[in-house]
Amino acid sequence: MRTLTIATLSFLGVALTALAQTPPQYEVYAIRYATLPQFPISALVKGGDAAVKIDVPCYVWLIRGGGRNILVDSGFYRPQFMKQWKPADFVRPDEAVARAGVKAADITDLIISHAHWDHLDGADLFPNAQIWIQRDEYVYYTADAWQSGGKHGGIDPADMAYLLRENTAGKLHLVDGEQEILPGIRVYTGGRHTFASQYVTVTAKPGTIVLASDNVYLYQNLDKHLPIAQTFDEQSNLRAQETMKTLVKDPRLIIPGHDPAVLQRFPKVAEGVVRIE
């Protein structure tokens, strides 16, 4: 009897351990917080038609589950960007996230896909978040990008200064390449939109979802197998797109960074918010 009890307990223990290790089935939302008017396709898709212009939505992506509210990218809101880009449909990113039902203070983690202004500038709107970025991205855009021969288009020094402050506060996590950074949340590099841009996979109810961010700008990139127009390395970008296709059971679960069709392909839960399912 005693042996049986111990056996039963140890079986239960194994089962509980397995349960604890099963990643959450997250819910994932795409949230539009701004639209940049009249962008030429050629600025998004290599070889795209320069005469065709589209209104380009800007998104952040919310992942809920396992006691966490994880945000992929933080949008922008500072006045110089409003003045320069004159966005339509603008809702400050923290307010846009509130439309999806989560207060800014309740965002536990912020995964920065890359350091461009429209993805990083709003980071300080989420004051309690642990921040995750690739080490090579952080190091490049705080150092060599500003040396002779470096590239820093789209990087705002104030945004990098914020990351430095968060680092000194113990809230910045520097990631080395492909890693599962949180249960069921894995990041990958290779897209090379920026020096070390990353994309994210999420275990979710419909299966693994890829949040590509700007490693894929539009569905066109995936469908026509064309690199993004802004990349450090076109071949690496295409390889990353191929890898994304191997990570999902259905290509519709790869979510591009700026495609207006995301808002049509998935069910609307609030203004500018759709659930990926």
Is the Cα torsion angle 273, 229, 141, 151 positive or negative in sign?
Answer: negative
Least distance in Å: CB of 22 to Zn ion?
A: 33
SS3 assignment, position 117: helix
Closest to Zn ion by CB, 56 or 145: 56
Q: How far does CA 189 lie from the centroid of its chain? A: 12
- Contact by Cβ (8 Å): 45, 228: yes
What gap in Å lies between CA 74 and CA 133, rounded to an integer?
12
Site string for Zn ion, 60-99 (x = CB under 5 A): ----------------------------------------
Site string for Zn ion, 21-60 (x = CB under 5 A): ----------------------------------------
- Contact by Cβ (8 Å): 229, 39: no
Task: Decide if residue 109 touches Zn ion (CB under 5 A).
Answer: no
Which of the ranges 43-51, 83-91, 103-111, 115-123 carries the binding residues for Zn ion, by CB under 5 A? 115-123
Is the Cα torsion angle 73, 79, 81, 83 positive or negative in sign?
Answer: positive
Task: Decide if residue 259 touches Zn ion (CB under 5 A).
Answer: no
Least distance in Å: CB of 257 to Zn ion?
A: 5
Which of the ranges 98-106, 112-120, 150-158, 182-190 carries the binding residues for Zn ion, by CB under 5 A? 112-120
Least distance in Å: CB of 85 to Zn ion?
A: 11
Task: Decide if residue 118 touches Zn ion (CB under 5 A).
Answer: yes
Closest to Zn ion by CB, 40 or 101: 40
Closest to Zn ion by CB, 34 or 204: 34
Closest to Zn ion by CB, 41 or 184: 41
User: What's the DSSP call for residue 45?
Assistant: B
Closest to Zn ion by CB, 69 or 194: 194
Closest to Zn ion by CB, 81 or 140: 81
Residues near 31 by Cβ (< 8 Å), separated by ≥ 6? Answer: 59, 60, 61, 62, 96, 97, 99, 100, 272, 273
Helix (H) or strand (E) holding 32: strand 27-40
Look at residues 78, 87, 85 and name the one whose alpha carbon lies nearest to residue 33.
87
Look at residues 41, 56, 150, 60 and name the one whose alpha carbon lies nearest to residue 102.
60
- Contact by Cβ (8 Å): 70, 24: no
What gap in Å lies between CA 218 and CA 238, rounded to an integer?
13
Site string for Zn ion, 207-246 (x = CB under 5 A): -------x--------------------------------
Closest to Zn ion by CB, 3 or 84: 84
Which chain residues interact with Zn ion by CB under 5 A? 118, 214
